[in-house]
Chain A
Amino acid sequence: MIAVVGASAAGLTAVQTLRREGYDGPLTVVGDEEHMPYDRPPLSKQVLSGVWEPAKVTLPSTVDASWMLGVRAVGLDVPGRRLALSTGDDLAYEKLVIATGVSARRLPFGSDLAGVHTLRTLSDALAFKAELAAAKSVVIVGAGFMGSEVAAVASGMGADVTVVDPLPAPMIRQFGPWLGGLVAKLHADHGVRMRLGVGVTGLRGDGRVSGVELADGVVLPADVVLVAIGSVPNTDWLAGSGLSLTDGVDCDSLCRAAPNVVAAGDVASWTHPVHGRRIRVEHRMNATEQGMAAARTLLGKGEPYAPIPYFWTDQYDVKIQAYGLFPEDAVPEVVAGDVGAGKFAVLYRHDGRVTGVVGWNLPRDTRQLRSRIGEPA
């Protein structure tokens, strides 16, 4: 029996790949959400804005497997090849796929106040959307891609939106200060306030949140707060399993975490054969590609996993697309389009090589520039 823990993008892809590649034995998927696999990227976009009915996020998952939904894996015995489940039962397996993803990171205070949200699951999205509709002042803590996307949707719904981040520009961790500056300007042009370079020190409110305290002493009024400060790999259930967990589940270049155990998606880190360093990629495309690669490894058809990661984000009428990697000190250069016209593509160079390309409303050129990744710069 092959067991898959995590019933989302990476787990589903692994199951589909196992079947497609000819595995015809028993397959069991254990997933702690009640739903069949669904797609998360639309949650902060079409679902939040109301353009899509929530049901539209369901992923097509007609595949021959048994699904144990609403069940958590709570322990793993690698040599004994057994999972411990939240139902109190054990599940014996021959091979295992770990695809448990990540959870939203929380602030160390205030999570018990009504009106304070995180956004990772469909139920998070529906709960947040319901409150957003009536909100006057929304504060978003964190100016990463998620905080930035939600700021765009919330301001479109008529709320007064402020984004707070201790870093000097939005999405700076993804794409550096130059592009971050353009994202900041995009938000300012749409009336979203950015309080950058200042941290959040507390949340105010009695039962329900009423304000957000900043390190400079300012208190921002808020009826609804979204905490979008990154994520934590879901590996708590693997404590004591003996697996190496320095960055999510540590894998080799074939997605192997231990004999007969592979991992894929947001939870898995591996040493990228081309870049020569350990990375973990929290992107939708990677969940699919790594799910495929991990499944092939289990069937003895594995190859070193060396993808060019792909990521996109939609904010207002801007689609930002990125292929490749963007080390902190990579240097951007505009190579196509025109920044002033709001359509351009940027190559990033690092250590004498092109490592990535970012497009801003320029999808076709950006895709074509992807082929330059890896060339000496």
Chain B
Amino acid sequence: MKVVIDQDKCVGAGQCVLLAPEVFDQRDEDGVVVLLQENPPAELHDAVRQAAQVCPALAIELAES
């Protein structure tokens, strides 16, 4: 799985960090998402999928392989 984020669309909701703190973080100054790992291991895939579904800006895209 490859994770792609769109920092331009992100509204800093932090929902992704709540669900998958190993994969997502937020910038201090404006809360915009930061990707910690592009290719998360299999045990995190479920959490990452949930984050992508719940992100209110639909700023997380997944390429499943």
Contacts and interface: CB of A to CB of B under 8 A. Distances in A.
A323 to B, nearest CB: 9
B56 A310 contact: yes
Given A310-B15, A363-B14, A367-B18, A59 B58 contact: yes
Contacts of B54: 285, 288-289, 292
Given A310-B15, A312-B13, A364 B26 contact: yes
B11 A312 contact: yes
A29 to B, nearest CB: 17
A301 to B, nearest CB: 15
Interface residues on B, range: 20 to 34
Nearest to B61: A60
A20 B9 CA distance: 24
A146 to B, nearest CB: 16
B39 interface: no
Interface string A33-69: 0000001010000000000000010011000000000
A284 interface: yes
Given A319-B30, A319-B31, A367-B18, A39 B57 contact: yes
Of A39, A363, A364, most buried by chain B (CB within 10 Å of CB) is A363
Given A321-B12, A363-B26, A288 B53 contact: yes
B31 A363 contact: yes
Nearest to A283: B56
B11 A41 contact: yes
Interface string B23-65: 0001111110000000000000000000001101110010000
Nearest to B32: A363
Contact of A292 (B14, B26, B53): B53
A212 B47 CA distance: 52
A363 B26 CA distance: 8
A319 B15 contact: no
A363 B27 CA distance: 8
Interface of B: 9, 11-15, 17-18, 26-31, 53-54, 56-58, 61
Interface of A: 13, 16-17, 20, 39, 41, 56, 59-60, 284-285, 288-289, 292, 310, 312, 319, 321, 361, 363-364, 366-367, 370
Closest CB pairs A-B (n = 4): A363-B31, A367-B14, A285-B56, A284-B56
